[in-house]
């Protein structure tokens, strides 16, 4: 039996559906990432689970029990917000112990639990520090310690790293993942960031306009996006229109970047072109970064490109590349240049164009 189950949960505000028949399940000890753009319903999903927004329809079950009549403070769920929600008039230790006092835990046990939690988040020496004296990263750690201190049955995190700059967010992401897995807490992690979901979650659910449109392990979503929306949101590469080449029956896709052999493109058969069907329909093609090479390879298609920017990467150089379409459009994507594979000197940003090569086997047709 699932620890948590959402059965057709819907919620509207002013006639607009924030949640539209959401059905999901969560196993005990699992970390579920809920992904989606702003306004897709992620926070409403959390608030409904916490009991702060009663659903208009559907049920939320915890260990088989309907939570409809269980008030928020009786659910045993913890909630960590993006802005941390720390009490400014309390020091670090008092913030962490707040939930423990609400549970009536004796003072000595509270003090021991606070020491344990501050050790967990590496803030051992800051128990008496004022909240106003903390950095952003320290505030995030205090908020996490406070959320974990009462040993919640479920921890819900709403964009927990969203208030931090990119460098600090990357630094703390690994720590957060290790802490959540180390304590074995069941968690829902709301984010719009693909890298956070990949690093933290066991499973991910992608939302759009109040609906869950795809679920699966994060890596599976990256490798097998169920739609063009998912591929675009996860920034998996350039997406462009592809249609059977004029004349039909020639087994080629016509795209803004040139002709590609349909027999090599993943998923082409569902559109008919791979079997030389003159009636094959047009679709959307995902060009993944791994499809791009800076050296010519057998079976690849030559494409004009402009290098927009270059950033050092542990594996080589991360390059922002603008593929130049035949219609004058550009299709930007991030690609990785590797010395061992691409050879020569690393490319540099330039106003002029240069050739790159596309491997059609690393491109795939998407559902609309």
pLDDT score at 49: 96
pLDDT greater than 80 at residue 47: yes
**Higher-confidence position of 1 and 31:** 31
Residues in the chain: 368
Tally of domains within the chain: 2
One domain for residues 47 and 89: yes
Among the candidates 232, 266, 294, a domain finishes at 232
Q: To which H or E segment does residue 260 belong?
A: strand 258-261
Q: What is the pLDDT confidence band of residue 342, given thresholds at 50, 70 and 90?
A: low
Average pLDDT over residues 360-365: 91
Task: Give the domain range for residue 270.
Answer: 237-366
CATH of the domain at 134: 3.40.50.300
Residues ≥6 apart with Cβ < 8 Å to 311: 317, 318, 319, 320
Does residue 205 share a domain with residue 268? Answer: no
Of 187, 217, 203, the residue nearest 4 (C-alpha): 187
CB-based contact 114:149 (threshold 8 Å): yes
Could you give the dihedral angle defined by the CA atoms of residues 43, 44, 49 and 54, in that order, rounded to the nearest 10 degrees?
A: 160
Which domain-ending residue is among 188, 207, 232?
232
Domain check: are 224 and 250 in the same one?
no
Per-residue pLDDT at 46 = 94
Same structural domain, 144 and 262: no
| Complete edge-to-edge strand list for the sheet that includes strand 354-358 | 292-293, 354-358, 301-313, 316-324, 330-337
* Sheet order of strands, 65-66 included: 16-26, 4-13, 57-62, 65-66
Residues 6+ apart with CB under 8 A from 73: none
The span from the CA of 38 to the CA of 267, in Å, is 30
Question: CA 60 from chain center: how many Å?
Answer: 24
Top pLDDT among 5 and 167 is at 5
Taking CA atoms, 270 is separated from 32, 167, 291, in Å, by 31, 42, 21
State whether 223 and 315 are in the same domain. Answer: no
Please indicate, yes or no, whether residues 254 and 209 belong to a single structural domain of this protein: no
Q: Specify the pLDDT at position 275.
A: 42
31 and 152, same structural domain? yes
Cβ atoms of 255 and 285 within 8 Å: the answer is: yes
Q: Are residues 274 and 163 in the same domain?
A: no
Q: Which of 202, 232, 262 is the last residue of a domain?
A: 232
> What is the token pair recorded at 88?
């400014």
Average pLDDT on 282-291 reads 90
The pLDDT score that the predictor gives to residue 298 is 86
The pLDDT mean for the chain works out to 88
Do 291 and 240 touch, CB atoms closer than 8 A? no
Q: What is the pLDDT of residues 230-285, one digit of tens each?
A: 999 999 999 999 988 876 556 888 999 989 888 888 876 555 544 445 455 678 99
Tokens, residue 243: 């249609």
| CB environment 185-217: b (16+ within 10 A), e (fewer) | bbbbbbbbbbebbbbbbbbbbbbbebbbbbbbe
Q: 300 pairs with which residues across the strands?
A: none
- What distance in Å separates the CA atoms of residue 271 and residue 277, rounded to the nearest whole number? 9
**Global pTM?**
0.86
The reply to whether 220 and 271 lie within a common domain is no
pLDDT of residue 274: 45
Which of 129-138, 211-220, 311-320: highest mean pLDDT? Answer: 211-220
Query: Are 80 and 221 in the same domain?
Result: yes
Residue 162 shares a structural domain with residue 277: no
Of all residues in the chain, what percent carry a pLDDT higher than 70? Answer: 93
Whether residue 277 sits in one domain with residue 207: no
């Amino acid at each position: 039996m699932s620890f948590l189950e959402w059965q057709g949960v819907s919620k509207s505000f002013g006639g607009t559906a924030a949640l539209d028949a959401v059905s999901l399940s969560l196993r005990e000890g699992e970390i579920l990432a809920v992904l989606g753009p702003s306004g897709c319903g992620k926070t409403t999903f959390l608030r409904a689970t916490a009991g702060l927004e009663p659903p208009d329809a559907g049920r939320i079950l915890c260990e088989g029990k309907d939570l409809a009549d269980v008030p928020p403070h009786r659910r045993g769920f913890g909630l960590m917000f993006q802005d941390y929600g720390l009490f400014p008039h309390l020091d670090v230790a008092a913030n962490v112990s707040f939930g423990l006092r609400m549970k009536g835990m004796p003072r000595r046990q509270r003090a021991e639990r606070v020491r344990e939690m501050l050790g967990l988040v590496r803030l051992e020496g800051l128990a008496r520090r004022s909240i106003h004296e903390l950095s952003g990263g320290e505030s995030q750690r205090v908020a996490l310690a406070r959320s974990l201190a009462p040993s919640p049955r479920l921890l819900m995190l709403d964009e927990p790293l969203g208030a931090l700059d990119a460098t600090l967010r990357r630094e703390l992401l690994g720590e957060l993942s290790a802490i959540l897995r180390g304590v074995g807490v069941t968690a829902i992690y709301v984010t719009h960031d693909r890298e956070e979901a990949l690093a933290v979650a066991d499973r991910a659910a992608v939302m759009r306009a109040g609906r869950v449109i795809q679920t699966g392990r994060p890596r599976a979503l990256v490798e097998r996006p169920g739609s063009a929306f998912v591929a675009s949101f996860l920034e998996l590469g350039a997406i462009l229109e592809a249609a059977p080449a004029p004349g039909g029956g020639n087994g080629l896709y016509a795209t803004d970047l040139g002709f590609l052999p349909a027999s090599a493109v993943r998923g082409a058969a569902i559109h008919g072109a791979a079997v030389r069907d003159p009636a094959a329909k047009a679709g959307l093609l995902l060009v993944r970064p791994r499809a791009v090479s800076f050296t010519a390879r057998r079976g690849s298609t030559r494409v004009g490109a402009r290098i927009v920017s270059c950033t050092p990467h542990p594996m080589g150089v991360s390059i922002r590349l603008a593929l130049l379409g035949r219609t004058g459009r550009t299709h930007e994507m991030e690609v990785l240049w590797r010395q061992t594979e691409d050879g020569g000197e690393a490319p540099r940003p330039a106003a002029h164009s240069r050739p790159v090569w596309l491997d059609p086997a690393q491109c795939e047709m998407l559902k609309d």
